[in-house]
Amino acid sequence: MNAGETEGVRLAKRVAALAGCSRREAELLIENGAVRVDGAVTLLPQSRVLPAQEVSIERGARPVAVPPVTLLLHKPAGLRLEDAAALLVPANFRATGHGAEKTPLPRHLSGQRCMTPLDREASGLLIFTQEWRVERKLQEDAAYIEHEVMVDVSGPVTPQQLAQLDRTPARVSIGRQSAASTGLRFAIKGLVPGQIAKMCERAGLVIEAMKRIRVGRVPLAGLPAGHWRYLRPDERV
């Protein structure tokens, strides 16, 4: 048995020969999830396949570049941004159940930039994107995009404290209140990390938990902590 039979050849080379296309076109077919090896989708062009392995190409697949995407991540509390970004892996993907669901591809998960950072202590929605239109929207309209954040603080909140919080650019209301704690809803435009913490500190309030549940028109909506999903075509920030 020669070395080629034991080590195999690069998948891209095998696909190029099978499809009668260039090596680059073969790589694009693989990166788009259109190639199966022994029935399983294989996404890495550099994978090696043996002569006995079956390689098939999805009928009608075209060798086009993987389009950029936007991802929504539910950041757990206590994680730094770089640690939260490390959660963008296929194992943490969550389908939305709305149909036309994408398959996580390596190109979708690299080069992602977080456009909506959060305090380390906070949990909730982060938006990552590769799409220049989404990036420009979140940068240029940052001061006008409303963020909805649920904040639990220790003890009751007095009318005076609420009035101190409820001022431009924030609208603050009480969702629940007891002797032990109060649940506040912040609707605030142009939110930056640390802003709500400073507002609460000035009002003499101690934050117990903070969770962002919406950015613009995009909701967290049932996404479990530590998981991510795709921004759907029908969703707009």
Number of structural domains (the chain) is 2
Residue 166's CB is within 10 A of a number of other CB atoms, namely 16
Residue 4: pLDDT band by 50, 70, 90 thresholds?
A: low
pLDDT value at 3 more than 60: no
| pLDDT bracket for residue 1 (50, 70, 90) | very low
Cα(57)–Cα(40) distance, integer angstroms: 11
Q: Are residues 84 and 186 in the same domain?
A: yes
- What's the whole-model pTM score? 0.84
Domain that holds residue 10: 3-57
Residue 64 lies in a domain: no
> Are 112 and 211 part of one and the same domain?
yes
Instruction: Please tell me whether residues 201 and 149 are part of one structural domain.
Output: yes
27 and 128 share a domain?
Answer: no
> Are residues 222 and 138 part of one domain?
yes
**What is 156-195 written as a DSSP string?**
---HHHHHHHS-TTEEEEEEEE-SSEEEEEEEEET--TTH
3-state secondary structure of 28: helix
Classify residue 91: in a domain, yes or no: yes
Determine the residue type at 209.
A
**What is the arithmetic mean of pLDDT over 1-7?**
59
Same domain, 220 and 138: yes
**Would you say residue 236 lies in a domain?**
no
Whether residues 16 and 48 share a domain: the answer is yes
Same domain for 127 and 183: yes
Q: What is the mean pLDDT of residues 204-212?
A: 98
Reply yes or no on whether the pLDDT at 180 is more than 70: yes
Percent of the chain whose pLDDT exceeds 90: 84
Give the CATH number of the domain where residue 45 resides. Answer: 3.10.290.10
- Which tokens sit at 117? 């950072």
Same domain as 86, residue 47: no
Q: Identify whether residues 132 and 78 lie together within a single domain.
A: yes
In a shared domain, residues 38 and 123: no
| Pairing mode, strands 228-230 and 70-75 | antiparallel
Domain assignment present for residue 165? The answer is yes
Please determine, for residue 45, whether its predicted confidence score (pLDDT) is greater than 70: yes
Amino acid letter, residue 205: L
Counting every residue written for the chain, the total comes to: 237
Confidence of residue 106 (pLDDT cuts 50, 70, 90): confident
